[in-house]
């Protein structure tokens, strides 16, 4: 291969923008950054009628000259038949178009289909687990009936990206070859203008993510009941959707803070939402490396997060933010109240967090690291 020749890169992500979520934003940002660096990028994602995307085979959402180019493959949403049909389409697309390298987000059925096609065609395969813990990729491989088959295929990939130390350790524990695991974190764009305190009459805390059990939002709502007693009128805005929403609404009403907790649903402009808030909150019980946390810190806003390995990658207590023990509402409330006191040290921490993300987690640097790895596995198989 000619050095520095633009790569023809295929990214595979079951869900992709305009679907809203951390993994979706990761892949959309990476696709744009890779294209901006001169590579030819195609994204394969699902056309899932339940998600409001459409349901036609090979539905291109842009002109043939678009870069990145997004192609939606038919996916009926039916659990078994739909998944196998989608896998066949991934396999067929790779065999027909034969990109230089294939990069799959999530070590599930998509990775199995891509792995088989890449092995057939001699195309290097790069994989990226999306999460850790009992909701992560390794846990899914253990409990799903296809998990053993998927794991066998994934272990043969030329390279695997670990976005956090926790994910790296899980990969090693499941027998993934250490020499093929490469540490590359998530990346975000660094806004030119930093966050400034919104100057609201009442401060607002914000959470961005899926309303799911692993996010610890029951702890956050219990903590907010304490915050509201100390700071009357303080509001909590939850950006996202998920199965926990009914229960969280009930908990808010039970604690008499229903009017203060806003369930805002998924929002397309996350940066705008963050700029209107006083503090970013992430009380998760489990995380890989949170995209929402990266985005908040890239803006330079104060953050309070749970003290778990994935979050400690970014947040150092008293240096770049505040940590609170996961599942401890009182400790979380105390940390939030400290930030809402608006002491100058918290603005200093926020600035330090912005500098940390700009230095080590910019999307341009992350895209460059991916390209270097892709060229490496092309040349010598990882």
Of the listed ranges 73-77, 214-218, 357-361, the least confidently predicted one is 73-77
φ, ψ of residue 78 to 5 degrees: the values are: -75, 130
Output the pLDDT for position 19.
64
Band (pLDDT 50/70/90 cuts) for residue 99 is very high
Output the pLDDT for position 381.
55
Band (pLDDT 50/70/90 cuts) for residue 60 is low
User: How do residues 288-333 score in pLDDT, each as one tens digit?
Assistant: 889 999 999 999 999 999 999 989 999 999 999 999 999 999 999 9
Output the pLDDT for position 382.
46
Query: Taking a C-beta distance cutoff of 8 angstroms, is the pair 259, 232 a contact?
Result: no
Output the pLDDT for position 55.
44
Output the pLDDT for position 62.
53
Output the pLDDT for position 295.
95
Q: Is the dihedral of CA 336, 338, 339, 345 positive or negative?
A: negative
Query: Taking a C-beta distance cutoff of 8 angstroms, is the pair 327, 308 a contact?
Result: no
For 352-376, what is the mean pLDDT?
95
Band (pLDDT 50/70/90 cuts) for residue 277 is very high
User: What is the overall mean pLDDT for the chain?
Assistant: 91
- Highest-pLDDT range among 26-30, 69-73, 303-307: 303-307
Whole-prediction pTM: 0.83
Output the pLDDT for position 343.
77
φ, ψ of residue 344 to 5 degrees: the values are: -60, -25
pLDDT above 90: residue 100? yes
Pairing of strands 181-183, 159-162: parallel
- The CA–CA distances, whole Å, from 285 to 52, 57, 116, 164, 282 equal 30, 38, 35, 15, 9
Output the pLDDT for position 50.
43
Q: Alpha-carbon distance 361 to 343, whole Å? A: 27
| Contacts (Cβ under 8 Å, ≥6 apart) of 355 | none
User: How do residues 239-263 score in pLDDT, each as one tens digit?
Assistant: 999 999 999 999 999 999 999 999 9
% of residues, the chain, pLDDT over 90 = 76
For 134-146, what is the mean pLDDT?
92
Output the pLDDT for position 48.
63
For 325-351, what is the mean pLDDT?
93
Output the pLDDT for position 269.
87
Is the pLDDT higher at 132 or at 42? 42
């Amino acid at each position: 291969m000619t050095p520095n020749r633009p790569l023809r890169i295929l990214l595979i992500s079951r869900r992709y923008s305009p679907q809203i979520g951390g993994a979706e934003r990761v892949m959309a940002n990476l696709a744009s950054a890779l294209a901006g660096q001169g590579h030819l990028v195609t994204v394969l994602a699902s056309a899932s009628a339940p998600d409001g995307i459409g349901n036609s085979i090979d539905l291109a959402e842009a002109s043939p000259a678009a870069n990145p180019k997004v192609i939606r493959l038919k996916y009926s949403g039916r659990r078994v038949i739909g998944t196998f049909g989608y896998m066949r389409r991934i396999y067929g697309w790779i065999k027909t178009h034969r990109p230089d390298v294939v990069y799959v987000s999530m070590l599930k059925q998509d990775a199995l289909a891509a792995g088989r096609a890449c092995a057939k065609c001699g195309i290097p395969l790069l994989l990226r687990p999306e999460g850790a813990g009992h909701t992560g990729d390794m846990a899914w491989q253990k409990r799903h009936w296809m998990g053993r088959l998927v794991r066998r295929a994934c272990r043969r990939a030329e390279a695997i990206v670990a976005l956090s130390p926790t994910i790296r350790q899980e990969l090693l524990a499941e027998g993934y070859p250490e020499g093929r695991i490469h540490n590359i974190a998530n990346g975000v764009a660094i806004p030119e203008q930093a966050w400034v305190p919104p100057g609201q009459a009442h401060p607002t805390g914000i959470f961005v993510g899926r309303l799911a059990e692993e996010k610890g939002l029951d702890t956050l709502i219990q903590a907010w009941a304490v915050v509201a007693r100390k700071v009357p009128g303080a509001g909590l805005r939850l950006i996202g959707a998920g199965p926990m929403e009914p229960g969280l609404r009930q908990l808010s009403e039970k604690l008499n803070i229903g009017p203060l907790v806003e369930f805002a649903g998924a929002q397309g402009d996350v940066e705008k939402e963050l700029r209107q808030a006083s503090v970013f909150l992430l009380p998760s019980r489990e995380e890989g490396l949170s995209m929402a946390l990266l985005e908040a810190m890239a803006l330079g806003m104060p953050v309070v997060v749970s003290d778990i390995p994935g979050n400690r990658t970014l947040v150092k207590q008293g240096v770049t933010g505040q940590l609170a023990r996961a599942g401890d509402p009182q400790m979380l409330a105390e940390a939030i109240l400290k930030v809402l006191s608006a002491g100058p040290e918290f603005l200093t921490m926020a600035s330090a967090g912005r500098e940390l993300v700009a230095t080590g987690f910019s999307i341009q640097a992350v895209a460059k690291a991916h390209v270097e790895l892709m060229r490496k596995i092309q040349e010598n198989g990882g």
